[in-house]
Amino acid sequence: MRRLLLSWFLAGKQTFEVALVPCALVVCIRLLKARTSIIYPSGNMARMTVEMVGRCTGHTRRKRGESTESLLQRVTHLYCSERGISRIEGLGSCHSLSVLYLYSNAISRIHGLTSCSNLTHLYLQNNHISRLEGLNTLHRLSKLYLNDNAISVVEGLEECAQLTELHIANQRLPEGEKLLFDQRSLQATAASLALLNVSGNNLDSLHDLSPLKKMVTIVASDNALSSMKDLASTFSHWGGIERVELSRNPLCSKHKYRDRVITMAAGICMLDGREVSDTERLFLASWKATRKARRKALHQHKVQQGLQSSAHYVLSSDPPPPMTMPALPARSPLRQWRKIHQQMRGGAGQHISLPTIVHLQQPSAFAECSPHHLQQVPVVAHSLQDARHTDTNDIGHGSLPVLPKILQSIT
């Protein structure tokens, strides 16, 4: 009898366990349905009413006999994504709301969040938002998701001093334009913003983001970044940068791209999805230090050589070597005859030196002169009385009958 009862008990226990499995599945399905939002057909716009918001509370259950207003006053999470919402409204009673999911809707403007002063997470990606506004009352906002919208300027964040993450990738910008940043918003979030996602926004420089001193993670893939110097200048302002995503940019094809980026930031631990090991970081840091020391030593050597050469000229007692000039060309025989003629016409014929006359007796001096120039030679002979009837044709043939008479008159 005991054995029979025991067998019945064990069979019932197994039956109970088998029946428990479907019950657990039913409970899980109900939980998923409660959390999963309703997907409306494309083109159908839904109005965000209080009753609709009351059905998007997720895990927060309505108490028996509780009104929708009281339910929304204590709700902390709202799941209003993928519902075809075109306008944010019906949140006037959500004073305790901290997380709001509004992604994949048809929202074109951010407003209606005045009463949500405790909001910390706002999900607005994949909408039709063209301007960043309506965030002035969200002083506790820490994470803002705006991917896949049509925003052209990052602005309106002056009151979001506690913002730590900003996701604004893949904006639908006009052709040829890039995402711009308002410096007032950057200055307001400089002390808190640690993660920034600006992928796919046609950015050609990250220099405008230099004021973000607390930057830890930057995601800037699918842009037009091409300057390594500009990147190094920006990283010099981000002392705590650890994670960098720059894939699919023009600078990624540069020589030693990974090594150069790692040496720009000492604390980087992840680059383009690949971890940076301590061994790799130390090796590249040592290589950079050695290269920098060599350049410094070479510069000092050049400066020292320049100073030594300058001191040699300043402190040397020897006078500097005289400047040499090229030798002047010899005077032509015609110019020598003209000089003698000028001296004779001035009455200074007796001062003509004898070597000059003897030098003029050389036939080679006349051989270098053309017949036209030789017509001017007898002018010297006509200045003397003993050489008035000299034939110039004889001079042209190299004979010098006039020179003995000039020599006799002078001596």
Give me the count of residues in the chain: 411
Which of 315-339 are b and which e, b meaning 16 or more Cβ less than 10 Å from the residue's Cβ?
eeeeeeeeeeeeeeeeeebbeebbe
CATH for the 34-289 domain, from 3.40.50.1820, 3.80.10.10, 3.40.190.10, 3.40.50.2300:
3.80.10.10
Q: How many CA atoms lie within 13 A of 155 on its CB side?
A: 10
Pairing outcome for strands 270-271 and 274-275:
antiparallel
Q: Annotate 344-392 with DSSP letters as a single string.
A: HHTT-GGG--HHHHHHHT-HHHHHTS-HHHHTTTHHHHHTSGGGTT--H
CB 213 within 8 A of CB 219: no
d(CA 37, CA 79): 7
Handedness of CA 93, 95, 101, 106 (dihedral sign): positive
pLDDT in tens, 143-154: 999 999 999 999
> pLDDT-based confidence at 382, cuts 50/70/90?
very low
d(CA 91, CA 354): 126
Residue 220 has pLDDT above 80, yes or no: yes
pLDDT in tens, 67-122: 988 999 999 999 999 999 999 999 999 999 999 999 999 999 999 999 999 999 99
Q: How many CA atoms lie within 13 A of 48 on its CB side?
A: 25
| pLDDT: which is higher, 299 or 250 | 250
Give me the pLDDT at residue 296, please.
Answer: 79
pLDDT in tens, 177-198: 999 999 999 999 999 999 999 9
Domain boundary assignment for the chain: 34-289, 333-410
Angle value at C-alpha 387, between 385 and 389, nearest 5 degrees: 110
Angle value at C-alpha 279, between 266 and 283, nearest 5 degrees: 65
CB 173 within 8 A of CB 151: no
| pLDDT: which is higher, 156 or 27 | 156
Read off the pTM: 0.62
Handedness of CA 113, 116, 120, 124 (dihedral sign): negative
> pLDDT-based confidence at 24, cuts 50/70/90?
low
Give me the pLDDT at residue 39, please.
Answer: 38
| pLDDT: which is higher, 173 or 398 | 173
Please enumerate in sequence order all residues whose Cβ is within 8 A of that of 195, keeping only pairs 6 or more positions apart, or say none: 164, 165, 166, 167, 216, 217, 218, 219
> pLDDT-based confidence at 6, cuts 50/70/90?
low
Residue 89 corresponds to which amino acid? Answer: E
pLDDT in tens, 342-363: 655 554 444 444 444 444 444 4
pLDDT in tens, 275-322: 988 888 888 777 777 777 777 778 777 777 776 666 555 555 555 556
> pLDDT-based confidence at 332, cuts 50/70/90?
low
